[in-house]
Amino acid sequence: MLGAILPMLGKDWSQPGIVPLFSNIKRNGYQIIYLTTRAIGQISFTRSFVNNLQQDGLKLPPGPIISSPDRLLTCFRREMIISRPEYYKAAALRDIKNLFPSSTNPFYAAFGNRENDAVAYRFVGIPLENIFTVNQKGDVHHSNATFKSYPMMTSKMKELFPCQT
């Protein structure tokens, strides 16, 4: 919830090293989409955050921002009261996946900040070894390792995100 509110108040809620990591992922040939359970009424704040976040002289790679079509209170209820944001994320990812031939999985990897996110990612067939869960300290948990930061992940780019181009 703080990640949705603090940027509106001018506070930086980003994890150090995320922009260089995502920039390297994009450079290796992967398309990035940003999926959030934030309400559609928050899309301008979300878009501004994604489009303006800079670290180490880099900006986040461009990509579509998929936001919940629901109102703020509905999203708040789903996220904070019933704690089931994965319902929306799984449905949104399923709809995207259905745009491709059934023999294709367009998703290679996914990042989230809760175990619920991993449930949604597994639902659409993202391999467990390509799901990354980030805690508030910036530790990135992965099926085979825990990286203490995004910059540590960047050092493993060749193994985690092999070049596609």
Three state DSSP letters for 99-138: CCCCCCCCCCCEEECCHHHHHHHHHCCCCHHHEEEECCCC
Q: How far apart are CA 62 and CA 19, in angstroms?
A: 11
CATH architecture of 14-160: 3-Layer(aba) Sandwich (3.40)
Whole-structure pTM value: 0.82
Q: How far apart are CA 129 and CA 134, in angstroms?
A: 14
Q: Kindly indicate the confidence band of residue 5, based on its pLDDT and cuts at 50, 70 and 90.
A: low
The closest of 143, 156, 71 to 110, measured between CA atoms, is: 143
71 has pLDDT over 80: no
Q: Kindly indicate the confidence band of residue 77, based on its pLDDT and cuts at 50, 70 and 90.
A: low
150 has pLDDT over 70: yes
What one-letter code names the amino acid at 91?
A: A
For the record, the structure tokens of 37 come out as: 């359970």
- Give per-residue pLDDT as tens, 78-91: 666 566 667 778 88
Output 3 or 87, whichever has higher pLDDT. 87
The closest of 37, 152, 161 to 91, measured between CA atoms, is: 37
> Who contacts 77 (Cβ-Cβ below 8 Å, separation ≥6)?
none
